Amino acid sequence: MGDYVRLDVDDGVGVVRLDRPPANAIDLQLADELRAAIGEAADRHDVGALVLWGGERIFAAGADVKAMAEWGPDEVRPSVDALGAACDLLGAIPKVSIAAVHGFALGGGLELALGADLRYLSEDATVGQPEVKLGVIPGAGGTQRLTSLIGPGPTREIVYTGRLVTAEEAHSLGIAERVLPSDRVFPAAVEAARAFANGPRQALAAAKAAVQAALVSPGPQGIARERELFLNLFGTADQREGMRAFLEKRDPKFRSN
């Protein structure tokens, strides 16, 4: 698909692979290619769920600092807008996404992982938002998504200090859903994504939208949105099949996939 990002599809799972050695540093081109790959995956019916993967050594070490060091606001805006758009698109598409993280996910790399629905980390993975040590802050949604995940206090401490966070601590804080041996991270992410892809896609899309509503408009408005999403699933082929299968004591065969 591009020089740095490709989309591979197998059995309903779209793997968005970052490949910019040595550290998958995120520049404008990589961010644009990410956005394009995610957009293509969103449009393809043969993709039911996504896995973001930077390879077995590193997820993404953040922005290309060497290129940005002498930039001003106008020069840096296209790059951060492109990465932000890729992260936003991950949250907006009606498909479950999993970030499979080996090694480092720092700065923009963590922001990308935070854009996914779920994060699976290797036991030796390290994450963080170290931008303050460079005299800046996260700019592609890092402060916002971290606050939604772990609350303002822990987010302040991580962002203000710029310190690195181990996989174990990331799990305890709620940044990561699973921590696995290194050789199990990618296979486990693909396995989970395949289950989502072969599951009730309409219900999963509705569940994703309902959780997003809780973040954007908590309280009565979010509850009303959840109820609307729930009601709209009745009469769909998957709802009929899921409930019939339950009554007939068999595994459902969902059609939306």
The DSSP 8-state label assigned to residue 248 in this structure reads T
Candidates 212, 98, 119, 131; CA nearest to 173 is 119
CA 185 – CA 118 distance, rounded (Å)? 12
**CA distance readout (Å), 148 to 79, 214, 216, 218:** 24, 10, 10, 12
Residue 231, helix vs strand vs coil: helix
User: Which of 14, 54, 108, 128 is an active site residue?
Assistant: 108
User: Which of 31, 49, 60, 131 is an active site residue?
Assistant: 131
User: Which of 48, 99, 111, 140 is an active site residue?
Assistant: 111
- 62 assigned to active site: no
**CA distance readout (Å), 160 to 115, 128, 133, 150, 193:** 21, 11, 9, 15, 34
The amino acid sitting at 198 is N
- 241 assigned to active site: no
User: Which of 25, 41, 63, 206 is an active site residue?
Assistant: 63
- 131 assigned to active site: yes
- 108 assigned to active site: yes
**Could you list the active site residues?**
63, 108, 111, 131
